[in-house]
């Protein structure tokens, strides 16, 4: 489905007038607008005037994956797992929940990793590297295995055993490290081993320019089912999913299929409240009082040799 993409270039979110070729993906932020304090991310632009007029005409079918939206995604060079096309469940009149737990690895990260793994295939990388102790790493490992790529995961020292088992089931190389060590170790692996990063490389969240494009498919699916909603509330985190969903709606309008765009906002859920409650509250971001306290982590060790030897041992074990 790589040939079906109408992606044309990368555009800086620091200054929309600054653009770069589509390849290679700029995973460290915009070289022109970024500063020492902020690494501005990039997004992908498309030839919207060439989008098929019937792209949004029919409801997406389960199992098709993101291929349905290939014209409005980066080139999908890696095979999928049937991600996307998740149910839109009506909880009460006019209030819907997009059930992303129905994705192959049970999270919305599958949409992102289909695109980032495709980027790794597109640049002929031998594998991918990710810093995660949860659903991002689990999803990355699954899509890497599907594409025949190696996957290195820098996890926290407190990684849940279930996630560890999931990662090893997909033959990922799991390296528990202190939290602050993840960025220098990610850069080390990218520079010395040629692996493609599918998570953050910088201290300010930049992400992968192709990754959030996968999240835009959430907005496309909602539009095909109920049209343009009044507002979309997304689970907060790094904000890439909510911002991507918000940016996708103007794209639909630009393709001539929508005449209005919904508002987009993060929605925190105090644990004892029913799920629809943040959806019907005042339209403004909130800070959850149930946030976990910040853990104190030890300083990063001198792990240069440890990472290289661990990767080598795992690779040798795999080939034996």
User: Using one digit for the tens of pLDDT, what is the confidence trace for 141-196?
Assistant: 999 999 999 999 999 999 999 999 999 999 999 999 998 898 899 999 999 999 99
| 294, two tokens | 């910040």
Q: What pTM was estimated for this model as a whole?
A: 0.79
Decide if pLDDT at 256 tops 70: no
What is residue 209's three-state secondary structure? Answer: coil
Strand ranges, E, within 23-111: 42-46, 88-92, 95-98
Decide if pLDDT at 3 tops 70: yes
Distance between first and last Cα of the chain: 34
Give me the count of residues in the chain: 320
Decide if pLDDT at 207 tops 90: no
Local confidence band at 231 (pLDDT 50, 70, 90 cut-offs): confident
What share of the chain has pLDDT > 70, as a percent?
A: 73
CB atoms within 10 A of CB 272: 6
Distance, CA of 235 to CA of 237 (rounded, Å): 7
The predicted model gives 26-48 an average pLDDT of 93
Residue 196 to residues 66, 138, 146, 269, 295, Cα–Cα distance (Å): 21, 16, 16, 34, 29
Decide if pLDDT at 301 tops 60: no
What share of the chain has pLDDT > 90, as a percent?
A: 61
Domains and CATH numbers, the chain: 1-229 (3.40.50.1100)
Local confidence band at 93 (pLDDT 50, 70, 90 cut-offs): very high
| 185, two tokens | 């170790």
Mean pLDDT of the chain: 80
Local confidence band at 36 (pLDDT 50, 70, 90 cut-offs): confident
Residue 65 dihedral angles phi and psi, to the nearest 5°: 80, -170
Distance, CA of 52 to CA of 252 (rounded, Å): 11
Q: pLDDT per residue over 43-87, tens digit each?
A: 999 999 999 989 998 887 777 889 999 999 999 999 999 999 999
Local confidence band at 205 (pLDDT 50, 70, 90 cut-offs): confident
pLDDT, residue 274, reads: 37
The predicted model gives 219-224 an average pLDDT of 93
Decide if pLDDT at 265 tops 60: no
Where is pLDDT greater, at 123 or 292?
A: 123
Where is average pLDDT lowest: 7-11, 35-39, 250-254? 250-254
pLDDT, residue 282, reads: 27
Where is pLDDT greater, at 258 or 119?
A: 119
Q: pLDDT per residue over 280-299, tens digit each?
A: 332 233 332 223 333 333 33
């Amino acid at each position: 489905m790589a040939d079906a993409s109408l992606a044309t270039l990368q555009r800086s979110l620091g200054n929309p007038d600054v653009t770069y070729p589509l390849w290679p993906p700029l995973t460290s932020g915009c070289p022109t607008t970024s500063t020492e304090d902020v690494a501005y991310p990039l997004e992908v632009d498309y030839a919207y005037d060439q989008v098929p007029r019937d792209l949004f005409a029919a409801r997406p079918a389960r199992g098709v994956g993101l291929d349905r939206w290939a014209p409005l995604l980066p080139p999908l060079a890696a095979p999928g797992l049937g991600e996307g096309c998740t149910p839109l469940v009506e909880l009460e009149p006019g209030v819907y929940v997009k059930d992303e737990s129905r994705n192959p690895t049970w999270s919305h990260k599958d949409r992102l990793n289909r695109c980032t793994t495709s980027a790794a295939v597109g640049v002929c990388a031998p594998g991918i590297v990710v810093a995660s102790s949860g659903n991002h790493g689990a999803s990355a490992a699954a899509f890497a295995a599907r594409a025949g790529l190696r996957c290195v995961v820098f996890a926290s020292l407190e990684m849940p055993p279930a996630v560890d088992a999931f990662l090893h089931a997909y033959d990922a190389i799991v390296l528990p490290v202190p939290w602050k060590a993840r960025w220098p170790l990610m850069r080390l692996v990218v520079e010395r081993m040629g692996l493609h990063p599918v998570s953050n490389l910088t201290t300010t969240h930049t992400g992968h320019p192709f990754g959030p494009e996968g999240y835009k498919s959430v907005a496309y699916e909602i539009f095909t089912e109920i049209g343009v909603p009044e507002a979309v509330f997304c689970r907060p985190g790094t904000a890439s999913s909510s911002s991507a969903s918000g940016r996708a709606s103007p794209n639909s309008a630009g393709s001539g299929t929508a005449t209005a765009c919904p508002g987009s906002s993060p929605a925190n859920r105090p644990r004892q409240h029913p799920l629809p409650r943040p959806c019907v509250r005042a339209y403004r971001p909130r800070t959850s009082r149930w946030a976990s306290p910040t853990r104190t982590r030890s300083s990063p060790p001198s792990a240069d040799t440890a990472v290289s030897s661990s990767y080598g041992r795992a690779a040798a074990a795999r080939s034996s």
